[in-house]
Amino acid sequence: MSEHSNRAEPSPRPVDIVFDCVPLRTLARLDAPLDASPGLVAKYARIKAAIIEHGAYNTYYLHNAHCRFFVTNDPMNGMIAFRFEGVVFTDDSDSKARHATLRVTLDKETCSWLEQHVVKWFEETVSQAVIIEFDRYIGTGDPEQTRQRMLRMEKAIEDQGGFVGMHL
Express each pLDDT in 33-73 by its tens digit.
888 899 989 999 999 999 999 999 999 999 999 999 999 98
The per-residue pLDDT for 141 is 62
Domain assignment of residue 8, yes or no: no
Radius of gyration, alpha carbons of the chain: 20
Q: How many CB atoms lie within 10 A of CB 91?
A: 10
pLDDT at position 155 is: 65
Residue 166 located in a structural domain: no
CA distance 142 to 159: 26
- What pLDDT score does 100 carry? 96
The mean pLDDT of 81-109, rounded to a whole number, is 95
Report if residue 23 sits inside a domain: yes
Give the rounded distance of the alpha carbon of 145 from its chain centre.
21
Range of lowest pLDDT (23-37, 63-77, 96-110, 142-156): 142-156
Strand order in the sheet with 59-70: 15-23, 59-70, 79-90, 97-109
**Based on the structure, what is the number of domains in the chain?**
1
Q: Is 70 exceeded by the pLDDT of residue 129?
A: yes
- Residue 164 inside a domain? The answer is no
- Mention every residue, 6+ apart, whose C-beta is less than 8 A from residue 88: 21, 59, 60, 62, 97, 99, 100, 130, 131, 134
Structural domain of residue 39, as residue ranges?
15-158
Q: Is residue 3 part of a domain?
A: no
Does residue 47 form part of some domain? yes
163 pLDDT band (50/70/90 cuts)? very low
For residue 165, name the pLDDT band (cuts at 50, 70, 90). Answer: very low
Is residue 9 domain-resident? no
What is 16-60 written as a DSSP string? Answer: EEEEEEEEGGG-S--SPPTT--HHHHHHHHHHHHHHHHH-STTEE
Read off the pTM.
0.76
Domain assignment present for residue 7? The answer is no
Mean pLDDT of 127-142: 87
Residue 2 pLDDT exceeds 70: no
